[in-house]
Amino acid sequence: MKTVDLCDVKKIVQRYRDKKGVLIPLLQEIQSEYGFVPEESVNVISKELGIFPVEIYGILTFYAQFYLVPRGKYTIRVCQGTACYIMGGKEILDHISNKLGVEVDGTTNDGLFSLERVACLGCCGMGPVVVVGEDFHGRCTIQEGEKILEEYRVKGTE
């Protein structure tokens, strides 16, 4: 694995010095910079802010939003809210997982797709919903799910 350039982490951490309750927004900012929270950044935060690494990992593992490993180019999120679930969202998730050959939360070997389930996106009227990156695909079916994958596969390898 290539080493991560930590300059930005240091810069970000400076802005959170001497404030209380900063750990979550700080980690969110680091994640939005790097796409995940690199292990090395935990040590930097720990040293700079005097917080034990165990406390930082406590946060990182408690909240579903944080990733400790890099993500694929496109994140596919399949909504598993109640409405999407009863409209067939589970079957779409299973099918995509099969097609990509990855489990939920996994990333394909080519680094193109990460697959996630999400509890509810609040678009229940459009269910079942599949989101790729920021793009919503409402009233999805398994067949459309396949088409969407193909589209992004082409786009991603261009």
Footprint on this chain of another protein (rule: CB under 8 A): 20-25, 27-28, 58-59, 62-66, 80-83, 85-88, 91, 94-95, 98, 118-127, 135-136, 138, 141-143, 146
Q: In whole angstroms, how close is the CB of 153 to another protein at the nearest point?
A: 16
Rounded Cα distance, 53 and 42, in Å: 6
Question: Nearer Cβ to another protein, position 4 or 126?
Answer: 126
Rounded Cα distance, 14 and 113, in Å: 33
Question: Nearer Cβ to another protein, position 3 or 98?
Answer: 98
Q: In whole angstroms, how close is the CB of 5 to another protein at the nearest point?
A: 24
Question: Nearer Cβ to another protein, position 72 or 145?
Answer: 145
What is the DSSP secondary-structure string of 74-135?
Answer: EEEEEE-SHHHIIIIIHHHHHHHHHHHT--TT-B-TTSSEEEEEES--S-GGG-S-EEETTE
Q: In whole angstroms, how close is the CB of 31 to another protein at the nearest point?
A: 9
